Structure 1
Amino acid sequence: LVKIGDYVAAESHLTCGACFQCRTGLAHVCKNYKILGVDRDGSYAQYVVLPEGVLWKTDPSIPPELACLQEPIGNAVDAALAEDLTGQTVLITGCGPTGLFAAAVARTAGAATIIASDISDYRLSLAKQVGADHVLSAKTQPPEQLAAAILDITAGEGVDASLEMSGNPEALHQAFRAVKNGGRVTLFGIPTGPVTFDLPNEMIFKGIRVYGITGRRLFGTWYRLAGLFKAGLTIRPVLTHSFPLSEFATGFELIQSGQCGKVVLFP
């Protein structure tokens, strides 16, 4: 239970507590969930009213500008750690903030080699700061060159795990092509339309495992993230800009430019 004065962060998925999913430990895919900031007023405000059950007591040593990022970092935790990454080679396609968080999580969780790809040199530079060993430009290298580079890095084997964080159709195919037989692909990015796959050759005959990521497991992901912070998870390089709430328009313009990592607004 929380009390007045507690330092908290909020889960953005407000669940019903009554559906099959909620009653069987799958509340993150609740049939009736509402999203803070989508289905009801969000947190671009000085005060927010929320159910007590979605509040997470936060370690006071974590500063507010990082504590407020726990919810999106949770997506990266679930994406990266759908399976154990210890000693594995990981490909991250898409270095937006959640992809960058995933790189940091993979590094902290013991991945041996992290490869990151994106069309933005700026975002790739951030990926290096949070733990990527190799960065590949999808803007200057065509798909076949990217595939060859990944095979070269992995001695012809392919990666153990692909984390697709962009939703770009070509990046989706890259994630499946790059993973070795028997590996796994985690999907977080949302395509803007239908994407066609060669199911036999990209999935079935490779014997891969595919995970879809939405929300955070309540509250298993949050406990896991707390442990990662204690283990040294470094995310500050992803927080590139902050503005007072009154300058929200400037923050959104910066986001649209792509020349930023995560942007935080202070009320």
Structure 2
Amino acid sequence: MQRYFVSKEQFIQNGIVIQDEDAHHMIRVMRMKEGDQVIVSDGQERTVLAEITELESKQVQLTIVEQLPLDAESKWKVSIAQGLPKGDKMELIVQKCTEIGAASFIPFESERVIVQYDRKKEAKRIERWSKIAKEAAEQAHRNSIPTIAEPHSWKQLLNSFEQYDLVLFCYEKVDGEGQGIHLKNVLSPFKEQCTAEGISSPTILLIAGPEGGFAEREAEQAESAGAKLVGLGKRILRAETAGIVGLSCVLYESGEMGGV
């Protein structure tokens, strides 16, 4: 069943008004008609089953049929910090990590980032990424849309570590052993700690580098700031793959995907 995210203001008493692109999608693309039902969410507090009662040229009116449970979000809130990649790779990262269950995204600049930062261009890119996150969240039947922060400097990212219960720094060189194999060794005791301390919804920052990876001094700075240096297996992953794999591993270990 088709799902749409709308603002709280579009919920009116026992009804909903859908406008703009979503209304166009319902009328012109999906060719919906009166009596059709969809799922509508405000991305925060309400997700409902609603029935179309009236279609106009630029808006659709619906009546709420029933409230639906808010059970589509992971208990572990994982934010993806991604070194700005080239081209449209960030679009893939946002789309797939949203489907998997990322809570938010933080693009950042680091020593080996190839992309030249431009505030005006980044504003348009953030708007584009936000649209992709919305569409992916609708497709995945999530209850909320991940937020996308403005690009952080490396220093800003380091200073943000204290906001999280756990910071994971994906690094191919862990303890001088080459590709790291220690992600599970970090997540298993962290899960036990959360259980012991009664932390039901821990916040986690997962950091993935750009195409050139991280400089050794950046790894040292991240570790000094409180991050755990972890590897994602014995193979070197592309910039657009690391966050997807890391997020999947974290949510599996949380029990989200059957991990124990």
TM value normalised by structure 2: 0.31
TM value normalised by structure 1: 0.30
